[in-house]
Amino acid sequence: MKSLMMQGVQILATGSAVPDSSLSNEEISQIVETSNNWIITRTGIEERRVLTGANKSIIDLAVLASLKALDKISMNASEIDLIILATSSPNDLFGSASQIQAQIKAYNAVAFDLTAACSGFVLAMITASQFLQTGTYKKVLVVGADVLSKWVDWSDRSTCILFGDGAGAMILQACVKLDNQILGFQLNTNGNYCNHLSLSYKEDSYSHSILNIYQGSFKYISMNGKDVYKFAVSQVPLSILKCLNSVNIAIDDIDWLLLHQANHRILKAVADKLSIDNKKIIMNVNKYGNTSAASIPLAFDEALKEGKILQNDLIVISGFGAGLTWGTILVHWKS
């Protein structure tokens, strides 16, 4: 996929936030019939963070992650032109991004939500980069935030063990082409398999007596784990190869593999299929579980804090999940 690139895109800063409250596998095994050993062996997850308490939402985490990113570069929020919030668990179905805009006081920014589950951050980053490359906007805040603890069925052991809450933010800026950091991308959707992983609207069985209008509500994540696993392991490597081929970069040139943190077996299987050394995998799924749209910016932010990612490193970022959606971005790190 060729894009009209008049300008480059720079990553200026990242930030992340997770709730204070952690939930261990042992604690989950008191709620459903499971064990620490089963969860670790199948997923690599040891614990996850959950947003507890009343009236808390993705906004609390998203605002904190955004302020941390702004603080890192001492940027005034009024400089931001656009905010894109990737989330599947908004606190307002009409859109939650405007609440971030108001709370961080980014009053010059347009703000909207983007829903693509665990691929949300990848799609939001590429959407942001299109606005920057065409010269429409100069500075964009991209946020990935999800609180799937509010949407899992806590009596379903096949899904409730997987997810955690969190938020990650990234500030992108237009720059001269020479300084461009987003070297390429590759995106995909296959709606035929949307039922593999969904959080669907469920209609009540009765309608309004006069209007014949049926109403309902969204209810619980449902997942066909085996099919999602097969999809990720077969399709993500292909997306990565297509992305790298499009910009003539070889697998061996890659310094880091930053995949959506779904589970450690998927991350390792994708790396093995591409013959990428496991040491190059950025992984924090053990601490946070699958935080959906937050997982990539959260892992990116942590890897930067830990000093893993160095000047001139090439990072392959891939998101995958419900939709089904999946895609890859190639980043050239320049601090």
Contact residues for ligand COA (CB under 6 A)?
34, 38, 42-43, 118, 157-158, 161-162, 223, 225-226, 228-229, 262-263, 266, 290, 321
Selecting among 25, 264, 290, 332, the annotated active-site residue is 290
Whichever of 68 and 260 has its CB closer to ligand COA, that residue is 260
Whichever of 235 and 290 has its CB closer to ligand COA, that residue is 290
Burial of 71 (0-12, 13-18, 19+ CB in 10 A): exposed
Shortest Cβ 93–ligand COA spacing (Å): 21
d(CA 65, CA 70): 9
Burial of 171 (0-12, 13-18, 19+ CB in 10 A): buried
Shortest Cβ 322–ligand COA spacing (Å): 7
Shortest Cβ 122–ligand COA spacing (Å): 12
Whichever of 131 and 320 has its CB closer to ligand COA, that residue is 320
Whichever of 55 and 155 has its CB closer to ligand COA, that residue is 155
Packing angle, helices 264-273 and 36-43, rounded to 10: 20
Shortest Cβ 66–ligand COA spacing (Å): 24
d(CA 85, CA 97): 5
Is residue 264 annotated as a catalytic residue, yes or no? Answer: no
Selecting among 260, 263, 264, 332, the annotated active-site residue is 260
Is residue 332 annotated as a catalytic residue, yes or no? Answer: no
Give the number of residues written for the chain. 335
Catalytic center residues: 118, 260, 290
